[in-house]
A = this chain, B = another copy of it.
Amino acid sequence: MRIPKAINNAIESFERLPGVGPKTAQRLAFYLLHVPQGELDRFSQSVQNLKRDTVICSICFSVDDTNPCNICSSDRIKESICVVEQPLDLLAFEKSGKYKGLYHVLHGKIDPLNNIGPDEIYIKQLLDRIESQESLVKEVILATNPTMEGEATAMYIAKLLKTQEPTLRVTRIGRGLPTGSDIEYADSTTLDQAMTGRQEY
């Protein structure tokens, strides 16, 4: 059975998305056959304009529709920079709403297995930012993911900052048990870190 070319093209497009396998891609393409053309056009436009209508902030490298981005051009506290891997991480912190400082988006992590070294992500730009004349930064919070690569990236940046800016406070986001979790089922690394990171009442 030959699948029509137009349908095959759509299936192949969807298959390239992360987490979408051949079966799901097929299901999505055939689903869209039942959708009005106007909605397909809107879908199509939104994908085409996604990058055209957004810009990477030249200060923090977050994604926004203005440059500098909304956060960098706002009157937020300029004394701290929270370093994250991806724009979605920034979004997660913004949703929680407590943090009032600035951000720096690395757009990746140091990952030697995938040939990503320190120069492939925005680490140099972070240093330039801190070392610049007008910098007010007193603390850098390393908020990369608590994974192997995320930890390595945080460690690398911490070492770099410690040698080049000895007066700077460099911190790593707290580790331990997440809200709603179960000590019974927690892995031992997490429990270790919850012990080490215990706080005075």
In the bound complex, CA of A181 to CA of B141 (Å): 53
Given A13-B42, A43-B47, A44-B48, the answer on whether A87 and B6 have CB atoms closer than 8 Å is no
Per-residue 0/1 for A44-59: is the Cβ within 8 Å of any B Cβ (1 yes, 0 no)?
1111111111100000
Q: Are A49 and B1 in contact (CB under 8 A)?
A: no
Contacts of A107 in B (CB 8 A): 34
Number of copies of this protein chain within its complex:
2
Specify which chain B residues have a CB less than 8 angstroms from the CB of A17 in the assembled complex: 28, 31-32
* A interface SS class: helix
Q: Is the CB of A7 within 8 A of B50?
A: yes
The A1-57 residues at the B interface (CB cut-off 8 A) are 1-7, 9-10, 12-13, 16-19, 24, 26-34, 37, 39-54
A residues near B (Cβ < 8 Å) are 1-7, 9-10, 12-13, 16-19, 24, 26-34, 37, 39-54, 63-65, 70-71, 86-88, 90-91, 94-95, 107
